[in-house]
Amino acid sequence: MSDVWETCPRCKSDKVVTRSKLFYFLLWFACGGILLWIGLLVFWPMLILGFLFIIVSLFSFMMPRVNRCTDCKHKWKP
Ligand SMILES: [Zn+2]
């Protein structure tokens, strides 16, 4: 659900989804956690990648939310 909703500025489609920053934070954080586990158990350079993903997740949490058009894949800030 979104409180900021508008049509796509590129193709005027109304199939627009708003991804919250929490979604991106959890996505990056989950990927980072998985990579850390792989790094600990299997392949140590994955630790570095895992830390990078978690840093990115913290940055994505500070970023404003983004609208995305499902028709033309255009992304923009509401
Ligand atoms: Zn579009």
Tens-digit pLDDT profile for residues 24-67: 788 888 989 999 999 999 999 999 999 998 888 887 777 777 78
pTM of the model: 0.54
H helices present in the chain, as ranges = 21-41, 45-62
Are 21 and 63 in contact by the 8 Å Cβ rule? The answer is yes
CA of 49 to the centre of ligand 1 (A): 33
* Amino acid code (one letter) for 37: W
Residues with CB under 5 A from ligand 1 (ion): 8, 10-11, 13, 69, 71-72, 74
- CA 56 to centroid of ligand 1, rounded, Å: 27
pLDDT at 1 over 50: no
The residue among 75, 61, 72 whose CA lies nearest residue 18 is 75
- Residue with more model confidence, 78 or 47: 47
Which residues contact residue 45 at a Cβ distance below 8 angstroms, ignoring those fewer than 6 apart?
39
